Amino acid sequence: MINSSASQTRIWFITGCSKGLGRALAETVLERGETVVLTARNLQQIEDLVTKFPNRTLAVQLDVTKPKEIQEAVKQAIAKFGRIDVLVNNAGYGVLGAIEEVSNEEVRRQFETNFFGVLEVLRNVLPQMRQQRSGHILNISSVGGFVSYAGTGIYNGAKFAIEGISEALAQEVTPLGIKITIVEPGAFRTNFVTRSLVITDSEINDYESVIGEMRQGARDILDMKLEFLEPGDPKKAALAMIQVVDSENPPLRLLLGEDAIYAINAKLEAVKTELDAWREVSLNTAFDEVLVTK
Sign of CA dihedral 108, 114, 115, 121: positive
pLDDT at 241: 98
Q: Domain 11-257 adopts which CATH fold?
A: Rossmann fold (3.40.50)
Q: For residue 164, what are the contacts with CB-CB under 8 A and spacing of at least 6?
A: none
pLDDT band at 5 (very low <50, low <70, confident <90, very high): very low
To the nearest 10 degrees (0 to 180), the angle between helices 104-111 and 153-173 is: 30
Q: Provide the annotated active-site residues.
A: 141, 155, 159
Residues 109-148: pLDDT tens digits? 999 999 999 999 999 999 999 999 999 999 999 999 999 9
Q: Is 293 exposed, middle or buried (0-12, 13-18, 19+ CB in 10 A)?
A: exposed
Domain boundaries, the chain: 11-257
Going by the DSSP 8-state scheme, the letter that residue 278 receives in this structure is: T
Q: How far apart are CA 74 and CA 67, in angstroms?
A: 11
Buried-exposed string 220-255: b where 16+ CB fall within 10 A, e elsewhere:
ebeeeeeeeebebebbebbebbbebbbeeebeebbb
Instruction: Report helix, strand or coil for 211.
Output: helix
Residues 163-184: pLDDT tens digits? 999 999 999 999 999 999 999 9
Pick the closest to residue 157 from 192, 196, 114 (CA basis).
114
pLDDT at 8: 54
Residues 60-74: pLDDT tens digits? 999 999 999 999 999
pLDDT at 188: 79
Residues 8-20: pLDDT tens digits? 589 999 999 998 9
Going by the DSSP 8-state scheme, the letter that residue 146 receives in this structure is: T
pTM of structure: 0.92
A 10 A CB-CB count for 264 gives: 18
